[in-house]
Structure 1
Amino acid sequence: MRLFVRADRLRTLATTAFVLWAAAADSIPPSAQMPVQVPADRVPGIQAPAVKVIGEGPGFVRLARTTDRLDATGHRALVGIPLSGLPSLQIADAPASQQAAARLGRVGFFRDQRVVEVLFTPRAEANSAPVVVDLSFDATTKRVPIPRASFYEDLTYRGAILNHDQSLTWRHGPQAAKRASSSQDSGLVGPAFKVTIQKEGIYRLTGEELMAAGAPASIRVSSIALYNGGGQRLSEVGEPAVQLRPVSFHLEDGGDGLLDADDHLLFYGQSTDRWIADPDGERRFLTNPFTGSNVYWVSIGAGVPTDSETIDGSLVGDPAIHMTYTAREHYELQRAPLNIAPGNIPSGKEWYWELLQPGVPQTLDVSLSDAASTVVTLRVGVITHALGDARVQLLWDTRVVATSSLPRDELTVLQDTIEVEGGAGQLEVRALGDSTAFLDWYEVEYERHLSTVDGMLIFDGASADRAAYALTGFDTAPRLFDVSDEGLTQITGASFDETAGQLSFQAAATDGMRRYAAVIDSSLMTVSNVQARSLGELRGSGGADYVVITHADFSSAAQDLADWRATDDRHAPAPSVALIDVAQIYDDFSGGLFDPTAIRDFLRHAHQHWSPAPSFVVLFGDGTYDYRNHSGTSPGNWIPPYEDGVSTYDEWYTYVSGDDTLPDMAIGRLSVQTADEAQTVVDKLIDYDRTPELGPWQGRILLVADDTFNADEPHLIETMFTHDSEDLAAQFMPPGLDLEKLYLVEFPFTGRFKPTARDAFVRAFNDGAVLLTWVGHGNSRVFAHEHIFVLPTDLQAIDNSRRLPFVFAAASQMGVFDDPDLDSMPEALVKWPRGGAIGMIAASRIGFHNSNMALARNFHASMFTSGRRFVPVGLALLEAKLATDVFRENERRYTLFGDPLTRLSMPALAIRLVTADTLQALGVERFEGEVVGDDGVLLRGFNGEARVQVFDSVVNRRELRSGEPLVYDQPVATLFRGVVPVVGGRFSGSFAVPKDITYRGGRGRISVYASAAQVAAFGSVDGLVMSGTAPDAQPETDGPDISMGIAGQSFNSGDFVPSKIRLHVTIEDVSGINIAGDVGHEIVLIVDGDRQDVTSKFQSGEDYRVGGFAVDLPSLEEGRHDISIEAWDTHNNWSEKRVTVQVSAAQVIEDALFHPNPTSGAGHFSFALSGPANVRIRVHSVSGRLVDEVSAAGNRGHNQILWEPPVRLAGGSYLYRITAMGDAGMATADGVIQVKR
C-alpha cells in the first residue's frame, strides 16, 4: 500500500480545507467520499480571526484572542456598544505573564454604530493560552428596529465590528442618523451663474457676459440676486460649512426694468486673501491656502433680490475733514513649503518666503505709497522647526529694532514702531544662534493720504461717528460706495471738485468701523469667468454604495468605470453607483471655492442623508500639496489631497461619523493627470475583471524581502525584513496558491547594488502574479537600497501585459503622490500601459517597520484568512486600519492607489487532486485531478487545459549575519512544469522526477492551475516527501534531443533572420527534462557567448518527455551570430544544439540550388533569403530561349519552390536565375540545371 494525498478545495482559496486519506494505489475511485475534514482554523496557514466573539448576552459580550505566533504590536478590535453609557472590561482568562492583556480604548463611531476599542497588548510567547475578556454595558438600553442596509453597507459593518449581530439595533435610528441639515443651506437651489474674481475691487458684470454663459436675452431685474460664501477656507473640525449669503449690488438697466446685453450690475468683490477683523476689533491678514479665486453667484428668479440701497453722503455743516486713513499692507511670497517631512519630502498647506540661516541675512526693500506720516508700525512673521536656540533679529536701515527667541513650530510676530524717512527703507532679517528659521511675511501700517493713482480707492473709515473725508486724485467724478457689509451700498450727495480732483462726503451715523470704495468707470474691474451651473444637486437625498468623485477632464473614463461597476455582479450584487463631478462638490459645499474639505463635507452629507450611504469611494484624479501652484511647476490639482502638515492621507475624507479618526468608508485614488491616462487605467480595471488573461499567474503570490544591509546605516543588521516576510508567508498568505519568494539575501552585491536581484524581480514581475508583497526599504522612485527596481530606468522593462499584480508595499514613502513634479512608484505602475499593477497600497510618508508590518499582517489576514471570498482590496485595507493598534499616524498614511472595489483575479473554482505522497528520484509519478464547484461536485462541462507544477521540498536555511540569526525557508526549485488537457472536468498525466532533488525533504508540493472559457480553477497538495531513488530507474546516458526554430519562417542553420527574432526550442528525452535548475544543470541560451538561464520558461506537454519554450532574443546586429541551447535530462545527461544565423540589412540570396541535379523532370529550387521578397525564377536554354518562368512569395530564411517543366526537355544544360525583390532591394542568384535523358 502507498499513501496518496488528496486535497479538496471545496470553497475558496481563503478557506481551503485539506482532506487526507489513504488507499491502495490501484483502488482510488474518482468519486470517493472524504472521511475526515480538518477545520480551517486548525490547518497550517489558515488562521482563525485574531479576536472573535465566544459568548454574548443582553448586557455583555465575551471575546477571545487566540494566536500561535509571537506578536510585537498588539491588536485593536471594535465592539459595538449602546448609544449611551460606557462599557467596562474585565479580563476573564489570560496567561500569567499577561495579566494586563487588554484594555478599553476610545469610544467613537464607525459609520452609524457606536463602538469602543478593545486594545490587546503584544504577546511575548508563542502558543500561549487565549486571552478572554468580558465587556459589560447597560442592558436596558433602548433598541431601534433593525436598520435597513444595502449588501455593501452590511459588508462594511460585518468586517469591522466583532459583535455585529448583537449591536446592529444600537445604531442611530433612521431619523437620528439622517439628522443633519444641508451643508450649504442658503435656499439657493437650481440654475445659477458662477462668477469668479481674483482681487478686491468694484466689479462690473455685463448682461452680455451673462448671456454668453447661457442667461436669457433680457432678464427682469427684480428677479436677480447675488450670493457669496465668504471666500474663506472651510473648517476641518466639523463646524457648520459655508453658507451662501445674499450680497447687495447696484444694477443699471437703462430704466426699462430689464437687464439687457448693454446693461450691467456692479458689486464689491473680495479677495480670498484679505484683512479681517477679530471679535476684539483687531485686524489681521487671512490667506486662503487653497485658492486665490473667490466666487459670487448670480441667481435669476430663485434667490432674493438684493439690489443696493442708497445713503446720503452730503456734507452737513462744517465737519472736520479726514485727509488720511490707516493703510495696512501685507507682503508675502510663497516660495517653498514650510514643512519638510522626514525623507526630505515637502508637505503641508503652509509656505514660506525666505530661509533664514545664521550669517546669511535676508534684506527686503520696503516702500510706502503716499505716506502722510513717518511713523510706521512694522510686523514680521517668522517661524522655526528647530529644537535648540532659535532667535531672530530685525533691522531697519541697519538699526536693530527687535530681537526675539522663537518657540518651535509656532508663528512668532515681531512688532515695532519705526521712523521711515522719504517713504522707503530697508528691512533686514537675521537668524541668530545656531538654528535656522523662516521668514513668512511682513506688514506695514501707516497713515496714508486719501488719494488714488489708478482710479480706485478702498479704505477703512475713521472710528468717529459722522466722519467726513476728502479723496483726491480723480480725473472725473467717481462712484462712491459703502462696502462695510461685503455688499454694495451707493453713497449719494458727495461733492466733487473737478479742478482739484477731490471728492468729499460725510459718513452716515453707524455703529462700528466702515469701509468705503470710490471708483471711476474706467477703473471698474472685470470678472475672470462666468459659468452656468446648478446649485443644490448634491445637497438633497440620494443613495449609492460606490461613489466616483472625478474631475471633468476624466469624465468619459470615469463614466466607463461607473457603468462597469453598476453591472458587475460576478462575486456579489452589483452596487448602486454615483458619479460625481468634483466641481459640483465645490459648488454645493464650499460656495464654489476650490477646497479639499468640501469633499469630506460631501461624503459626510451623503453618509447622513443618502440611502444607501456610500461604502466605497474612488478619487479619480491626481493631486498635489501645491494647491495654488506657488512653485510654478504644478501640473494641476484635479482631486486635491488632504495635508495635515507633514503627512497626506486620503483616509481623512472618510472621517464622516463622530469626532473620532476611525475611517468610515473604503477609499482609493486613481492618480491620473490626462484623459489618456484615465482611459488606460479604466480599461485595465475593466479588462482585469471582465476578461482576465487566464494563466498560472492567477495562482501565484510573489513575496519580495529586503536584505540585511542598510547602506545608510551599515552598522545595522536588518534581519527583520526576512523574518517578517517568513511570518507573512507562514501565517497570512493564501495557503493554496504558489508562493514565489524573492529574498535579497540570496543575491550577491556588485558594488552597492544587486543587479541579479533586479533581473529576477523584473522577470518575476513580467511573469505575472496575483499579488506582490514587498517588505523592506524604498521610496517613491526605488525598491531597496540595492536598486532592484528604479522607476526612471527600469519601468521600460515592465511588460507583463494583463498579468497584473496587486502590490502591497510594507515600506516607507513609496506613495508620495502629492509631489507636483514626479510620479511616485504606485502612480507609475498603475498607469503603465504595457502592464504594471492593477493597484498598489503604499505609504505617502515615512513609517516604521513594526507598524508597517502590523498593517501588512492585518491586510493579508482580511484578504486571505478571514473565511470570505474575493474580498475587495479597499475593504481589506479599511479593516486592516481599524485593527492596527500601533502608531496610527503611520497606518493612516497608507493610500490605496486603485479602485477599492477591485477583487483579486484568483481562480474561482477548486481542484481535487490525487498524487503519490512520496516522490523518488528518476521515478515516473502519476497525478489525477478534477475541477469542482463550491459544493465539491465535479464540473463535467469544464473542458480546457491544466498546467501542473511539481516543486522540490522546501529547505530551511539558518545562518548568522554579524551575530544576528537569520532563519528562513529557501525558495524551492520546480521539478516539473507541464500542460495536460481537461476533458469533462477531469485530467491526468505523468511526470519524471529528476536526480536533482532534496533527498529526505518532506515539504514538496504539487499545484495545478486549470482554465477554460474565462473560468479558472486551482488546487494543490503540500507535504510531499522526497525519498531515495526509484528502484525501477533504468540507466540512461544520452542527453536530450534539441531542435530550434524561428517564429514566422522555416529555418535551417545559416539562414537569414531579422534582427529581432523569437526562438522556439523543443527538447525531448526518454527520461524527461531536468528543470530543477541546480547550479550547472540549467537550460541555458547562449547568444554569441552571452549566457542566459531560461529554465523557468520550459514547459512540457501532455507527454512529459517532450517540451519546449519560446524566447525573444536580444536585437541582433548585422552579420553572423552563433546561438546555442544547453539542456540536461533527469539523469543529468547533457546536450547542446548550435546554429548559426545571419542578419543582413540588404536583400541577399544564399545557398541557391536546384535538386535533384541532374534531373529527368521535376525538381525544387532551394534558397535562403535575408528578408521577405517577391521571387521570380526564369529558366533559359543555353541559347537564351526562355523555357519557363515561376513567381512566388519568398519568406525570410529557407525557401523551396517546386518546378515542373512545361514541356518535355531535351537532355543538356539549362540556365536559371532567381530574382528576389524586397523592401531592402533586389538580389539575384544564378545556376545550371542538368537534364538527363
Structure 2
Amino acid sequence: MWKSILVLFLFVILQSQSILKAQSVLADGDVYKFRVTSSQLYKLDYNDLLNLGINVSTLDPKKIQVFGNTGGMLPQENAAFRYNDLFENAIYIEGEEDGSFDTGDYILFYAQGAHKEYFDESDQLLKHEFNCYDDANFIYLKIGESDGKRITETEQIELAGNEISTFDDLHFYEEDEVYPMLESTGRRWFSFYYSSTQDSEHTFSIPGRIPSEKIKLTTAVLSKAESRATFTFSIDGSEVDTVSVAGTTPNKYYRQGYIVGKTMQAEGNYGETFTIGVNYNRPTSSAKGYLDYLSINTKRELKLYDNYVHFRSITSLNEEQVIYRIQGLEGNNAQIWDISNPLEPKSIPFSSSRFSDFPNGSLKEYIAFSGSSFPSPAFENKVVQQNIHGSSVPDFIILTHPNFLSEANRLADFRRMNDQLDVLVVTTEQVYNEFSSGRQDVTAIRDLVRYFYLQDQSKLKYLLLVGDGTYDFKNTLKESTFVPVYESRETLYPVNSFCSDDYFGMMDEHEGYWAETLDGEVDLDDMEIGVGRLPVSTLEETEAIVSKIIYYETQESLAGNWKKNILFVADDVDGNLHQEDADKLGVLTDSHFPHIDAKRLMLDDFEKTPTPSGSESKEAEAFLYRQIHDGVLIVNYNGHGNVAGWSAKRILTSSHIDTWTNLDRLPLMVTATCDFGRFDDPYVFSGAEKAILKSDGGAIALLTTTRPVFQISNYEINEVFIENVFELEKSGEMARLGDVMRKTKNEGIYSDNNRNFSLLGDPTLRLRFPKKQIQLTSINENSVSGENIVGALERVVLEGQVQVADAEVIRTDFNGELLLSVFSRKERQTKGIDSPVYPYETMDNVLFRGWVSVVDGEFEASFVVPKDIYYSEENLKISMYATTTGDQLEEVSGTFTDLKLGGTAQEPVIDDESPSIALFMEDDSFVEGSVVGSDSYMFAELEDNIGFNTSLIGVGHEMLLTLDDDSSWVVNDYFEASLDQPNKGTILFPLKGLEKGVHTLKLKVWDVGNNSAESTITFRVADNSEFVVENFKSYPNPISFSFQNPKLTFNHNQAGEDILVNVKILKMSGEVASKFETEISNAAAIVENLEWESQKLRPGVYILVANLMVKGTELNSQKVFKIIVGD
C-alpha cells in the first residue's frame, strides 16, 4: 500500500514540475550554451572556461552548474511527463575541494544527444528513435549564486550473483538525406536512394564485438513500384535475408509506396568490422527504392575502449543480482556511473574492476571510464538572460524566428495600442532554450502555449507564428524552416498526409498524440487556441506583411461598400458539384446573413477558349480580376486547383496575382481546393504565399489548403466557416480570424482533410466590416413595420437614420454620404459547357444604386423602380453603407429585407425621353483620340430626366460596353447615381490588357422606361513598357510679356504613376534662360494647368526642352518646341 502512495506522490510532483515554474533558470547568472551530438561523457577544463571569457581566477567552482534535459523528441501527448524548464544535471568537478578552479581542474558530465536509444521489451532489442527535428541536443553551463548539483556515490553492494563480462550494444545507420516524394509531404526522410545504382554498402566497426555472437539486423525499406520488389541483405558478401515489398497502383492521389520493416539474424564468424550490403531488386526501370535505416544489436566484451565504455546487459533482466566485471578499469581516477537517470548519474563504488547491482526488472545503463581525456562539447553562444516562465499570461503570443524579431515587436506594439491586447513576443531560440533543452521541436512550441493556457484558460486566445516552416526541418535542402510546422507521420499517401499548425492549439490533457491510422483517420482533437502563420523567409517580407496588416486596419483609403461583399467562385466540372456547393453557400449567406451581399462566379457562366493545354476562360479570369480590384471582403473558391492556381481553366494563376494592385481592397481568401496553400515545400512558392506576401496587394489573410482535399469535407468546413465568420460580436464587429478559424475547425471536422486548412495571416485581425447602425424608418411615408409593396415605374422614397448601436437613438453627430443599393432576385442558369445546365437564383440584381447625403444622422433617398422586373411578388433587399465626410472616418452599414416588389405601380412614372452620355477614357479631361496605357478605365457621365435601368431582367436592356465591335461587357453593376441626384450618375469600368493600337469604344445604356442612348469614342493604346507623351503644349504661345504664368498640358499612357518633369528654357544661343522641376503624383491621363514662370524672360524666341520620367523606372520622354515671348 505504501508503495502505491509513494508512486502517486512522486507522480504528482513530476506533473507539477512539468506544468508550472515561476522563473526560468536562464533569468539570471552567466549562461553558456553548448551543442552535443552524441550520448557520452563530456569535459570542460580550465582553458575551455578561460576561452569563454570567464574570470577563472575568481571563480568559485561550487557555483558551477550544468543544465539540460534528456535527448530525443519531446512526447506529443499532453499528459506525458516533460521537463518544463532546464533541469540541473549532477556533475563531477575535479579539484573543486580547494575552493578555486585551477589549471588541471575540469568538469565531467554525461549528456545525451538528439537521437533516443531505448529497450523494446516485446522484441528484446535495443532500438533507436531518430530525431526528425534536430541532430543535436544542448547543455547550459551556468555561473550563478547557487551551489551546483554534484554526483553522489551509492552505497557499496556486496558482490553476489552471476558475473557478466559482456554487454549488449546498439549501432545504427540513419541519416535524413533523401526525401521520397515529388510532391513532398510528411516528416519521414530516408538514408539512401537506389536510383542509377541498385546496391549500397555500409561498414560498421564495433571494437570488442564477440565473433561467436549473432548479429541482429533491423531495417526498414521503401519501394515505390507498380509490382512487388525485394531487397536483399548480406554481410561481407554472404546473403542474410530478403525483404519483400508490395506494389502500388499508379495514381498521384493513391499510396505511392510501402515501407516494410524486418529484423533478421546473421550467424557467422564476423569480425569487429563488417560490411552490410543492400541490393534493391528493381522490378521495372521506373521503380524506386529507399533505405530508411540499419540497426545492429550485438554483444561486446565489457572493457574500456580508449578509457571509456557505455554498457547495459539484457541478460541482467533475468537476474535478481549481478556482478559486472570491466576489463582495464584501473587507476585512482577510474569511475563507474549509473546513468539510468542520465540527468542525475550516481557514482558506484567498485573493487578489482567489479561491482554488483540489483536490476529490479529494469535495464540499467552505466558508463565506466578512467583518466580525463574526453571530448569537449561545441560552444554555441552565451545566452542572453531570458525568462519566458516568469512572464504573465498574455492574450496573444507572437512566436518569431530571431531574424524577424523587430517586425514581430512592431506588430505587437500595434496590437497593444490598437486592440489593448496583452502580447508576449518570444523567439524560437528562446522557446527551445526553456522548453526543449535548445533543440528544435514542434512540441516545444505547443508546450509553450500550454504552459500559459493552464495558468488561465480564459485569457490566452491567439498564437501567431512568424516564419516559414517546411518538411525540411533540418534545412538539408536549403534554409527554409524558420518556425517549424507539424508534419504528419504519413508520408506516402498524399490524401492522408498533412501539415498543420492546429497542433499548437490543442491544449486538453487527453490530446496531443494525434494518432494516425493506416486508412488515413486521425484523432480529431479540437483547438482551444486560434493559430495563424506569416510564412515569411526574409526580414523584407516580414516588414511588408506587418505593414500591410497595420495599413488594412488603419487606413481611411480602404473605406468603401466593398466590405459588405463576398464572392463565391466555383469550378465547372464534376457534374456541377462545385457550382452547387457555391450556390448553397450563397443561399446560406443570403438567408442567414443578409447584412452581407453575396455574389457568385460560376465558371460555366463564361465562354471557354481551346488551347493546346486545354480550354481556358479569359472572360472568367477578367471577371475575377475586376471583382478583386473593385473589392470583396471575402473571396471563396471551391473546385480543382494546385499550388499555382484555380481550375484547369486557369481563372487564377500565380502570374495573375503578380498583377494585383489592390492594397486598398484586400480580401480574405478561402480556398477549398488542392494544394493552393502548400507553404511547407522549400522549392515551391504557392499562390497562397504569393497572395499573403505581396506588398502592394494580394490578400490580407487566407484560410487555405496545404494538401489534396475532398469536396465533401470542403463543403462542410466552408459551411461552418460562413456561419462563424458572419456571426457578429456584441460590439458589432466581426470575430477575430483566430476565433473564426478555431470554431470552424472544431465544428467542421470531417476527417484529417480539414487539418489541411491553415490560416495564413494574423489570428487577431478582424475583417473591416462596417458596424450595423443604419435603420430605415419609412417607405413612401409609411412605417417600415407595416407591409410595404412597390411596383414597376413607381417612385420610391426611403427615409432612415444612423442610430446608436442596439438603441433607437439618432446619431446626430453623423454627417456624411450613404450608398444605397436595392437588389431583387435574378433567375440564372449556367451554359452547360463542361457540366449539365445548372439553374440557380441570386439576390444581386441591382434595381438602383446611388449616393445620398446624411445630415445629423438622417437621410432621404428616392428612385424609380425600372420597368424590367419579375412581376410576381418577391422581397427586395436594401443594402446600405455610409461614411462620414469629416476629419475622422467612420463607416456604418445596414440592411432591410421587408420591402416587397410586384406588379406595376398604380401611378407609374412616365418616361419617354432618352438619356445622354458623356464618354471618356480615364477621366473627363480625355480628348478624342488620345493615348492611354494598356491597363486603363472607361469613364462615363450619364444623365436622364428620371433615372437609369440597371436591372438585368429585361433581355437586351443591359448597360453594354463594346470594344471594337468585338468584345463586350455588361457594366450595370458599375453604375452609381450621383449624390442626391438619382437621375444622374457615373460608370467607371476597368479595361485590362488592351492591345497596342487604335480602338473604338461604344457604350449603350437604358433608362427606367427602356429608352436607350449610346456614345462612341476612339483612343490609342501605347505599350506600358513605353512612355508615350502626346499633345505637349505650352499656352498661350506666343506669351504676352504681361501674361502672368503660362501653363503646360499633355496626355500620356502612364496614368496613376508619379511623373517627374524637368523643363529648361534655352536662348537661341543655347544658354539656359530659365528652368524648373516638379513631380506630378498619381498623374491623370491628361495633365493640365502645370504652371511655369516666364516673367524673367525678355521678348524673343526660345527653345523649351521638357524631360519627363516615370518615377522609379527608366521610362522617359523628351519634348522640344519653340516659344515666343512678346512685348
Q: TM-score range with shorter-chain normalisation?
A: 0.7 to 0.9
Alpha-carbon deviation of 1:246?
Answer: 4.6
Query: Is the aligned partner of 1:527 residue 2:378?
Result: yes
Higher relative contact order (CA 8 A, sep 6+): 1
Q: Hey, what does 1:401 align to over in structure 2?
A: 240
Q: Deviations over 1:1155-1204 (max 9, x none)?
A: 899x999899898668845364989xxxx9x9xx9988899867799999
Q: Hey, what does 2:607 align to over in structure 1?
A: 748
Alignment of structure 1 residues 72-471 onto 2, 5 Å: 180-183=16-19, 189=25, 190-191=27-28, 192-205=31-44, 218-237=58-77, 238-242=79-83, 246-251=88-93, 257-259=99-101, 264-273=106-115, 275-277=117-119, 282-301=125-144, 305-307=148-150, 328-337=170-179, 345-354=183-192, 361-366=198-203, 368=205, 377=215, 379-383=217-221, 392-396=231-235, 399-404=238-243, 411-418=261-268, 420=270, 423-425=273-275, 427-430=277-280, 438-444=290-296, 458=309, 460=311, 465=323, 467-469=325-327
SS at match of 2:744: helix
Q: Is the 8 A contact 1:1220 1:1227 kept in 2?
A: yes
The change in CA–CA distance for 1:245 and 1:718 in structure 2 (over 3 A counts) is closer
Query: Is the aligned partner of 1:772 residue 2:635?
Result: yes
Alpha-carbon deviation of 1:968?
Answer: 1.3
Q: Is the 8 A contact 1:699 1:1009 kept in 2?
A: no
- 1:985 maps to which of 850, 857, 869: 857
Alignment of structure 1 residues 956-1105 onto 2, 5 Å: 956-957=828-829, 966-970=838-842, 972-991=844-863, 1002=874, 1004-1012=876-884, 1013-1022=888-897, 1025=901, 1027=903, 1031-1037=908-914, 1039-1043=916-920, 1052-1053=927-928, 1065-1070=940-945, 1072=947, 1081-1082=958-959, 1084=961, 1086=963, 1096-1102=973-979, 1103-1105=981-983
Q: Hey, what does 2:1016 align to over in structure 1?
A: 1136
- TM-score, normalisation: structure 1: 0.69
Q: Is the 8 A contact 2:566 2:598 kept in 1?
A: yes
Alpha-carbon deviation of 1:1079?
Answer: 6.5
- RMSD (Å), alpha carbons: 5.2
Alpha-carbon deviation of 1:912?
Answer: 2.3
- 1:641 maps to which of 474, 486, 491: 486
The change in CA–CA distance for 1:806 and 1:1057 in structure 2 (over 3 A counts) is closer
C-alpha distance in 1 between matches for 2:712 and 2:824: 33
The change in CA–CA distance for 1:699 and 1:183 in structure 2 (over 3 A counts) is closer
Q: Hey, what does 1:763 align to over in structure 2?
A: 626
Q: Deviations over 1:670-703 (max 9, x none)?
A: 3333333333333333343344544334543323
C-alpha distance in 1 between matches for 2:926 and 2:365: 95
Q: Deviations over 1:949-970 (max 9, x none)?
A: 3445422548878996733115
Query: Is the aligned partner of 1:859 residue 2:721?
Result: yes
The change in CA–CA distance for 1:207 and 1:557 in structure 2 (over 3 A counts) is farther
Q: Is the 8 A contact 2:24 2:434 kept in 1?
A: no
Q: Deviations over 1:1030-1081 (max 9, x none)?
A: 844343357523355669xx66446677898777654445555565577685
Alpha-carbon deviation of 1:520?
Answer: 7.4
The change in CA–CA distance for 1:188 and 1:1057 in structure 2 (over 3 A counts) is closer
C-alpha distance in 2 between matches for 1:351 and 1:271: 19
Q: Hey, what does 2:570 align to over in structure 1?
A: 706
C-alpha distance in 2 between matches for 1:817 and 1:1060: 31
SS at match of 1:258: coil
Identical aligned residues as a percent: 20
Tell me the amino acid that sits aligned with residue 747 of structure 1: F
The change in CA–CA distance for 1:1063 and 1:882 in structure 2 (over 3 A counts) is closer
C-alpha distance in 2 between matches for 1:962 and 1:1065: 36
Alpha-carbon deviation of 1:325?
Answer: 8.2
SS at match of 2:263: strand
C-alpha distance in 2 between matches for 1:702 and 1:391: 55
Q: Which moved more, 1:227-236 or 1:1197-1206?
A: 1197-1206
Alignment of structure 1 residues 411-810 onto 2, 5 Å: 411-418=261-268, 420=270, 423-425=273-275, 427-430=277-280, 438-444=290-296, 458=309, 460=311, 465=323, 467-469=325-327, 482=336, 485=339, 486=342, 506=353, 514-517=366-369, 521=373, 524-532=375-383, 537-539=387-389, 542-568=392-418, 574-610=420-456, 613-629=459-475, 631-641=476-486, 643-645=488-490, 646-659=497-510, 661-691=525-555, 693-710=557-574, 720-732=580-592, 734-751=593-610, 752-791=615-654, 793-810=655-672
C-alpha distance in 2 between matches for 1:726 and 1:269: 60
Tell me the amino acid that sits aligned with residue 1222 of structure 1: N
The change in CA–CA distance for 1:784 and 1:1232 in structure 2 (over 3 A counts) is closer
SS at match of 2:541: helix
Alpha-carbon deviation of 1:235?
Answer: 1.6
The change in CA–CA distance for 1:810 and 1:1026 in structure 2 (over 3 A counts) is farther
Tell me the amino acid that sits aligned with residue 550 of structure 1: T
The change in CA–CA distance for 1:489 and 1:872 in structure 2 (over 3 A counts) is closer
Gap runs ≥5 in structure 2 = 1-11, 247-257, 317-321, 359-363, 491-496, 512-524, 781-787, 1053-1060, 1081-1085, 1109-1115
Tell me the amino acid that sits aligned with residue 677 of structure 2: G
Q: Is the 8 A contact 2:282 2:289 kept in 1?
A: no
C-alpha distance in 2 between matches for 1:392 and 1:897: 43
Q: Is the 8 A contact 2:922 2:938 kept in 1?
A: yes
Q: Is the 8 A contact 2:60 2:100 kept in 1?
A: yes
Q: Deviations over 1:567-593 (max 9, x none)?
A: 445xxxx44443344434333333333
Corresponding residue pairs, total = 1005
SS at match of 2:581: helix
Q: Which moved more, 1:669-678 or 1:184-193?
A: 184-193
Tell me the amino acid that sits aligned with residue 715 of structure 2: M
SS at match of 1:240: coil
Tell me the amino acid that sits aligned with residue 292 of structure 2: D
Q: Is the 8 A contact 2:585 2:719 kept in 1?
A: no
SS at match of 2:527: coil
Tell me the amino acid that sits aligned with residue 784 of structure 1: S
Tell me the amino acid that sits aligned with residue 633 of structure 1: K
Alpha-carbon deviation of 1:529?
Answer: 0.9
Alpha-carbon deviation of 1:507?
Answer: 5.1
SS at match of 1:604: helix
C-alpha distance in 1 between matches for 2:119 and 2:791: 88
Q: Which moved more, 1:212-221 or 1:802-811?
A: 212-221
Tell me the amino acid that sits aligned with residue 656 of structure 1: M
Q: Deviations over 1:195-227 (max 9, x none)?
A: 322234554435676677786663210111223
Alpha-carbon deviation of 1:1142?
Answer: 8.3
C-alpha distance in 1 between matches for 2:1120 and 2:890: 54
C-alpha distance in 1 between matches for 2:435 and 2:109: 23
Q: Is the 8 A contact 1:812 1:844 kept in 2?
A: yes
Alpha-carbon deviation of 1:231?
Answer: 1.2
Alpha-carbon deviation of 1:998?
Answer: 5.5
Alignment of structure 1 residues 883-922 onto 2, 5 Å: 883-884=747-748, 887-913=750-776, 914=778
C-alpha distance in 1 between matches for 2:302 and 2:117: 19
Q: Hey, what does 1:1174 align to over in structure 2?
A: 1063
Q: Which moved more, 1:686-695 or 1:207-216?
A: 207-216
The change in CA–CA distance for 1:423 and 1:1092 in structure 2 (over 3 A counts) is same
C-alpha distance in 2 between matches for 1:831 and 1:1164: 47
SS at match of 1:1011: strand
C-alpha distance in 2 between matches for 1:409 and 1:252: 50
C-alpha distance in 2 between matches for 1:720 and 1:1112: 30
Q: Hey, what does 2:1111 align to over in structure 1?
A: none
Q: Is the 8 A contact 2:485 2:501 kept in 1?
A: no
Tell me the amino acid that sits aligned with residue 348 of structure 1: G
- TM-score, normalisation: structure 2: 0.75
C-alpha distance in 1 between matches for 2:1048 and 2:556: 44
Tell me the amino acid that sits aligned with residue 1138 of structure 1: T
